[in-house]
Structures are given as structure tokens and as C-alpha cells.
Structure 1
Amino acid sequence: MKSLLFSICSIICVITFQAQEQTFADFEWSELTNNRVSGSLSPILAFPSESGFTMYSVEKFGSQFYAPKIINITKFDAFGKPTSAIDFKLPIRLLKDAALLKIIEGDNKLYFFSNIAVKKDGKNVLYAQIYDNETHRVSDPIELYTIPFEKINNSGFFEIASSSNKRTFAVLVNQLFEKKTNEAITVLTFDENLNKLSESTHTLSFESDRAYNESLFVENDATVNIIKKTDTFKKHPITTIITVKGNDVKEQQVSTEGFYISDSKVISYNDSQFLVGFATDNAKPTVSVGGAKDDSFFIYNISEGNLIKNQKWSQDTRKRVLGKGYLNLKIKDVLMDNEIVYLIGDCYSTDSEEIDGKNFEYNYTHRFGPGIVIKLDINGSVIYETPINYGEDYLNRMEVLGSFFPFLDNGQFFVLANEKEYILKNKKIVFGSEKANAKAIVLKSFDDEGNIKTIPFWNSETGGENQYATFAPTQTILIKDKAFYIYATGKEKHKFGKMTLK
């Protein structure tokens, strides 16, 4: 009798555990709809709230390869149902359409930056259009800056960045290139309404033809940092930080022999700026092996001008990752929790192949994985480095399914991703079966030592085998606490959803 009771209790416990395992998250999905309908061809989610979210999509206006762009913006309710939509074009000057440069999400606003260089009037003009999410309206084009030029192939160019608090914008203007002269730049800052705060022009120590390979960052206090790379195809590429504050400019070379930066990002802490990222000790084989093979991560104090830490991968990382470094490692995100820094990397590369019989049309293969998470403090003390072993290829529009979504909750680091169900269940699958494509959303939690626990959400399926849509981790936005809006897409269908973690 005791044995029978024990067996019954064991069965109940197993059933209870399985039920709990399947309810770590609740899902509310909208209906599957056609993802090839104009207005939602390349959706990006923004402005999450308890009442809904906004989606914008940049698309061609017409079928020609060089067709101008049109932007569609749609508002959705909390159940993924569209409530209102608008569309607009980029500016036109002298019958020429603007080229889209960048879209920045601000405080309940979207900023669309574009430019038009027209030989007839000899002007390269930077424009901005502001979408207000409250009024659901787009402003008339604003002319932010004009570069006069004589030749269209020497008309200068622009770079734009915003601060972390979304209240300050910076524009870097690379002025016209002139032989046997040094590079001239103009740096402007603007407030959230794009009212100009400052403008300064500087002549750098670089030759005028070295304006490429730059990244722009602006901090909440309007400090502007330009990360410039030169000699990128030589044995010893150089990385220089150019800091602009008002009318003051400062240059400092960061890279040294054996320390070559591949990807980096500027962060701020206690009114000081830091550069964090990935590096290699040998940049020469970059072309031959197909990309930079990173073998270290680093943190550099820009304000004080010193390298705090450049640490090689641990033996455990080297064992778990093919080879002794990461190929094509890019910064996916940098998250901060007071003085703690989470540096998150994702290997990404893409190849293109021309489609037979079609002009200027290509198939693109996007490769993701593996990834890595490094937790360290602002003084360079490393808490852990944890590789994330995965690797998948996606074709064309399915690129959105790649990678993962990192976030912090009460000081703990998590990753949302999708993984194949047959791998999670350790099952063999018949090649060609629809079930080979079935995926579940998983939550990866990292403990204080960087150990990963993976929890699959078996109730996260979005559709049947033949018209399933897979969760897109790169299209996940936090509403608040543990509630998210998420996007799922398949070959010809997609849907929106709301996910609430328990």
C-alpha cells in the first residue's frame, strides 16, 4: 500500500512539475497575417506600453532597384491588432529623392535622417523628419546642415548619434576631401526637438582622405567621441579616439602593437567615458581567414587615457569555441547595472549571391553564432566570461530570426532566444520533416558564476506545423517588469504577441 501511494505521489509530482514547466511564461498571439503586404515588409517594433506598441517599416516605393524609400508607421493595441497607420516619403529636392542615413528611436519620437547631394545646385543637405508617437504625425523636413560642393564624388558625408537618455543628438560632418591637406570636420549637437545647441569645426591630424571607418557616440552631457580606424588593411591597424567637447578637441591613439580593436562602444559612468569591446593581437590574417579573429576583450578609460584591462579568452572559452578566437565577433549590446558592465558579443557575417536572370537582385545568407557574455566592473575586474554555443544560417528576410535578446531583471542577466525543439528534447528527426523547423522560445538565466540554466517554453508555439511562425529574438521589446511584446515570422506569415514571464 505504501509503495502504491509512493508511486501515485511520484506521478502527481511529475505531472505537477511538467505543468509548472510549461507555464513559466504566458503568451497572447495575434492572428497569422501575410508578411509580404506593403506596410509590414520590414517591421521594427518601438514604444511599448500596456496599451500597445508602434511598428515602422522602410520599403521601396516602386519596383525598380533604385526606387525611393517610403516609411510606413502603424500603431497596434495590446493584442497585436492594428489601430491606425500612416506613410510618408523622404524629402525630394530638384526631383531627386533623399537617401535614408539613419533612424533613431527617441523619447516617444522617431527621427528619420536623410541627405540629398544634387550636382545642379551644388549642395549636400542633411534632413530630419520627426514622428511624434502621441500625435501620430510626421513633421515637415528640417534642414540640419548643408555642405556646398563642386563635384558629386566629393560632396562630404554625415554621421548621426544619440545619447543614452535620448535627449541629445550629435552630427559629424566630414567636410570635402582635399589632397595634401588634413581632414576637416564639423561637429554639431542638438536637443530632442533638433534645436541646435553647439557647432564647432576642427582640423584633425589625419590626411583628408582618411575620413572613413568611423563610429560616432554622444553622451548625455554632449561630449562627442569619434572612434576612427586607419590602416585597416595593414599589419598594424590604428584606432584613435577623437573627443570633442564644445570648441575643444583631443586625439588619443588607443591601439598599440599586439592590441588591435575590432569592435567597440563608448559607455559613461560617473561623468567619465570608457571604451569597451573586442580586440585581437594579430590583425594581419583578417582577409585570409574571412574576418577579424578576436582573442580578447578590453575596457579603456577615455577620460584618463589609459587601458584598464585587455584580457585574453580563458582556457574554458578556448575549449568551448572552435579555434582560439571568435571570428566576426560584433558587439550586440552593452548593459550596465551601476558599476557592473555586461559586454555581449554575437558572431555575425553575411554572404550574397546574385540571382540568375535578375539584375541587381541577390540572395543573402546571414550567419549567427557563437556568442559570448562578459560580466566585469568598471575597474576591469572580471566576474565571468560565458560562451553561448549556437550557430545558424538564415536566408534573406529571415535574418530577423538570428541572434538573441539580452536583458537585466533585478540585477540578474537573462537571454531570450529560440531553439529547435528536437534538440531541446534530445530527439532524432527525419530530414525534411516540418518538425525539424519547430522551435520553442527559451529563457537562459546566468548565475553569479556565469553558469547558464535553459528553460524552454513549450507553450510558445505560434501555429501549426505547416504555417508556424518562429519567435524573433531581435524583435523583442520590454513593456515593464517581465512583460514583452514579441514578433514571430515564417516564410509567408507573421504575427505579434505578448509574453509575460512568471
Structure 2
Amino acid sequence: MKSLFLSICTLVITLQAQTQELANFEWSELSNSTVVGAQNPELVFPSESGFTVYSVEDIGSQFYAPKIIYITKFDVSGKSLSTIDFKLPIRSRKDATLLKIIEGDNKLYFFSHVAVKKDGKNVLYAQIYDNETDQVSDTIELYTIPIEKVNNSGFFEIAISSDKNTFAVLVNKPFVKKTKEAINVLTFDEHLKKLSETSPTLSFGSERAYKETLFVENDGIVNIIKKEDTSKKHPITSIITIKGNDVNEQKVSTEGFYISDCKVIAYNNSHYILGFATDNAKPVVSMGGAKDNSFFIYNISEGQLVKNQEWSKETVKRVLGKGYIDLKVKDILIDNENIYLIGDCYSKDSEAIEGKNFEYNYTHRFGPGIIIKLDINGNVTYDVPLNYSEDYLNRMEVLGSFYPFLNNGKLFVFANEKESKLKNKKIVMGYDKINAKAIVLKSFDAEGNIETIPFWNSKTGGAKKYTTFAPTQTLQITDKTFYIYAIGKEMHKFGKMILK
């Protein structure tokens, strides 16, 4: 018996040693994540020589405080090299509101707008940061909507193509009673020089009692996914396709097929919608949301539903038959004829902080996730759940979810998991030990079977300086090299991870 025990111990130690050798980690020094310029870091532009981080922060503590943007360049070891900062535009002493930040080809695009009654216009602005020159452009006025009052000043939506060469801007003009929806759709190149503009009047009422999502493809074709009656039992999803001056509207949802979340892709010169759906969209269903019970692919170019398939029995069983609630399309990865539709459940709650004005605690809920492998004709290889669930408070949101990537035709996922779960034991003493997590690499074989490899040598801090790997803050440099970010309490650090 003693000999058997020693053999098992030797095997465990050997396996752990082998696991440790699967990845190397090179971490920068721990630093304070609450200092100005480093409060909300977002990693971009990975290269062999380093990476860049931008952080959007409030100026002052007021609820409607204006924003300031900090951009810092780091070397390959995670050491900061230089920092610049700039503000959003101001007109008539009124600060612009940040709409969207888009990462282009070695450039960052900051879109904002400000509506002022005094001069009767709502202006869409853009500022471009060039990562090569480390400079920010002068403010660009992309579009102006004439207005009569600020609370009816129209809306802007912005999107970029997958090749990062084309931008689309959707302009929803101010609401006018008893009229149809009038929009402007513009496309721009990577320098924000206008390529096209069309001004269609749609068949929908001009009330903005719906949700619109904008997509633009590499060929310059614009698709708008429109949702109506989202609070009713039978919501309607339509798609508007704009090619030059040609505008085509088609209704996608049907009885028993209600789209919850989706994205548009281009494949072999055709456009498709992929996403998740339910057959019962009544909002009161189960815990405040509709259960997503299927995934689908829809051919926009042919106006045809290719496949709407319910979850496999094994998937339903592994998520305890509760279905997926608040399921979002996290990513769509394409590898030759294989398409990976990747989803993650996400919801957010807020609660006012007692005794403070306009200050809230935000709870971010993630999981479970889902990985679906299929082809463009709707032939499904597998749908596999990632059965996890985590809640994160406020700035720790970046720890949630996971990071999928392809390598030599194989799907991998980076995530972090509690050591107590990985080691199949309960840890009850000490905050850091209870919450201690390790980076894990999940690999998927051809049938969707998952192998989970923990990296025990991924530790990023010690007692009272504990930091945890953030899977949503992972950047791939080469096939096996990644920049990573870790955060915890008031400390954070950057690192480089090298797979063997």
C-alpha cells in the first residue's frame, strides 16, 4: 500500500512538472491600477517589440464628468515607454459623448458626438490615433444632423469591415410624427475619406422603438439588423441591405423563430447571419429573459434560413436543462470550410451605493458558454457547452469570459479557473486561497471533446498582491506567443505567455 501511495505521488508530481513546462510566463512588475492613466486598460497592437494600451477615464468624480483618453506604449517586457493623453471635442462649452472606439490597421478611431440647441446641430466627430507616429489627429467632423432640440437629436451607429479598410456610419434622423424612418448611410475609407452616401426612406415608422445593429463588409455592402417589439411575445427581426443606392428589406424572424443575438459574416461572395434564437420570446420566461434553445444560419443574399437547430441533448443535460439566458455572440472564427460560432451568457445588474449620489456597484455575470462547429451549409459537427458561471464586481469585469483562437486548424480557449475546482478539493482558509485561479488552456478535438490543461506556474502575485489572468485581455503575437493582462484588488501587471 505504501509503495502504491508513493507511485501515485510520483505520478502526480511528474504530471504537474510536465504541465508547468507547457508554457513560460514573463511578468512585469506589479503596479497600482488605480492611478490616473491606468484605470481602464485595453490592450491593442501586439508585435514582437511590444504593445499599446489605451484607457478612457473620467475627469473628476462627477456623474457626468467628461472623458480623457490616455495611450501608453509598452515594450516586450511590459515596461512603459511613453504616454500621451487627449480630450474629446468641446462645442459651446459642452463636452462630446464617447460613442465608440474602433481598432483599425495600427490605428485607433475615437468616435464621439455632441448636440447643442444653440447652434441647432448634432455633430459626429472622429479622432484618429496613429500607433506608428504616436500622434492624434485633429478633430474630424464626419456628419452633422440639424436639430431643434437636444432630446430629439437623432442617433449615430458606426461599424468597420473585417479587413479594417471600410467604415460605415448609420445616421438616424430626428423623430417626426406620422412619418417613415429616414436614414443616411455613409461609407468611409481607413483615412475617413467619404466613399459613398445614400439617404433611403424605409418602410418602418420613424419612432425609435427598436434596436439596430450595423455591419459593413469588405465589399462595402452595409447590413442593418433591426429589432422591433422586443418587449412583446412575438418580436420582429428584419435586415436592411444597402448596396450603393439599392436598398433591400427582408423580414428574418418567423412564428417560433425569434432571434436573440447575431452577427453578419461574408463567405464566398454571400452574406450570412449567424447567431442564437428562441421559439418563445416572451420576456417573462424564466429568470427575466427568454431561453435561447437553438442556433441558426441565415443566407441574406438568398433570403433563406439555412439551418435552425436546437441544442443537442447532451448540451441541454450539461446546462441542467435551464437553457441559455442572455446568450450573446462572442465571436465567429472561420477556418477554410469550418465555422466556429462562439457564445457566452452575459448580463449586468446595478445597485445604488447607499449614501452616495449617482454611484453604483455593478455585478457582471458570465457563463455558461457554447462552442458550435458547423459549415456554411448548416452541417453541424458539434455543439459543446463551456459549463462555468462567474460573477464579477465593477472593474473586475475584465476577468470574465474566455479567449478563443485557432492554431493550425484546431480550436483553443484560454480561461482562468479556480484552483480548488481544478484540484478537486475545497479551500476554506484565506481570501487569496479561496479565489486563487490558474490559467487553463482548453483544446477541442474533431468531435468537440475538451482537454483542459492548467498552468500552475502562471502565478502573478502573492498574499495581498494577488492578481488573476484576464482572458478577455489576451493578444496573440505569433502562433504560440501572447501578451496577457492580470488584475486584482488595486494591483495589476502585464505579461508574455509562450506556449511550447
TM-score by length of 1: 0.97
Is this contact kept in 1: 2:231–2:283, CA < 8 A?
no
Q: Which residue of 2 aligns with 1:118?
A: 116
Shift of 1:17: 3.8
Which 5+ residue runs of structure 2 have no aligned equivalent?
Answer: none
Could you list the per-position Cα deviations for residues 253-295 of structure 1 after superposition, in whole angstroms to 9, with x for gaps in the alignment? 0000000000000011111100000000001144663122100
Q: Which residue of 2 aligns with 1:18?
A: 16
Q: Which residue of 2 aligns with 1:387?
A: 385
Shift in alpha-carbon separation, 1:57–1:11, aligned structure 2, 3 A = closer
Q: Distance in 2 between matches of 1:159 and 1:431?
A: 49
Shift in alpha-carbon separation, 1:433–1:101, aligned structure 2, 3 A = closer
Which 5+ residue runs of structure 1 have no aligned equivalent?
Answer: none
Shift of 1:13: 6.8
Shift of 1:10: 9.1
Q: Which residue of 2 aligns with 1:160?
A: 158
Q: Which residue of 2 aligns with 1:200?
A: 198
Letter of the 1:357 counterpart: G
Q: Distance in 1 between matches of 2:242 and 2:497?
A: 43
Is this contact kept in 1: 2:22–2:455, CA < 8 A?
yes
Is this contact kept in 2: 1:438–1:465, CA < 8 A?
no
Q: Which residue of 1 aligns with 2:131?
A: 133
- The match for 1:171 among 166, 169, 172 is 169
Is this contact kept in 1: 2:261–2:275, CA < 8 A?
yes
Shift in alpha-carbon separation, 1:429–1:132, aligned structure 2, 3 A = same
Q: Residue 199 of structure 2: SS of its match in structure 1?
A: strand
Q: Residue 16 of structure 2: SS of its match in structure 1?
A: helix
Q: How does 1:272-421 map to 2 (within 5 A)?
A: 272-286=270-284, 289-421=287-419
- The match for 2:465 among 467, 481, 500 is 467
Letter of the 2:351 counterpart: E
Shift in alpha-carbon separation, 1:122–1:26, aligned structure 2, 3 A = same
Shift of 1:64: 1.2
Letter of the 2:35 counterpart: V
Letter of the 1:252 counterpart: Q
Shift of 1:234: 1.2
Could you list the per-position Cα deviations for residues 464-484 of structure 1 after superposition, in whole angstroms to 9, with x for gaps in the alignment? 132110000010010111100
Q: Distance in 2 between matches of 1:8 and 1:365?
A: 46
Q: Which residue of 1 aligns with 2:57?
A: 59
Is this contact kept in 2: 1:183–1:211, CA < 8 A?
no
Is this contact kept in 2: 1:210–1:230, CA < 8 A?
no
Is this contact kept in 1: 2:210–2:230, CA < 8 A?
no
Shift in alpha-carbon separation, 1:8–1:489, aligned structure 2, 3 A = closer
Shift of 1:18: 3.1
> Which deviates further from its counterpart, 148-157 or 187-196?
148-157
Q: Which residue of 2 aligns with 1:144?
A: 142
Shift of 1:69: 0.4
The percentage of aligned residue pairs carrying the same residue is 75
Shift of 1:434: 2.5
Q: Distance in 1 between matches of 2:322 and 2:30?
A: 44
Could you list the per-position Cα deviations for residues 415-474 of structure 1 after superposition, in whole angstroms to 9, with x for gaps in the alignment? 000001111011121155421111100000000000100000000000113211000001
Shift of 1:151: 1.7
Letter of the 2:420 counterpart: Y
Q: How does 1:203-222 map to 2 (within 5 A)?
A: 203-210=201-208, 212-222=210-220
- The match for 1:255 among 233, 250, 253 is 253
Q: Please tell me whether residue 483 in structure 1 is matched to residue 481 in structure 2.
A: yes
Q: Distance in 1 between matches of 2:125 and 2:209?
A: 21
Q: Which residue of 1 aligns with 2:39?
A: 41
Q: Distance in 1 between matches of 2:461 and 2:224?
A: 46
Shift of 1:338: 1.7
* Count of aligned residue pairs for this structure pair: 498
Is this contact kept in 2: 1:174–1:211, CA < 8 A?
no
Q: Distance in 2 between matches of 1:54 and 1:67?
A: 25
Shift in alpha-carbon separation, 1:427–1:120, aligned structure 2, 3 A = same
Shift of 1:12: 7.3
Shift in alpha-carbon separation, 1:268–1:364, aligned structure 2, 3 A = same
Letter of the 1:131 counterpart: Y
Shift in alpha-carbon separation, 1:398–1:14, aligned structure 2, 3 A = closer
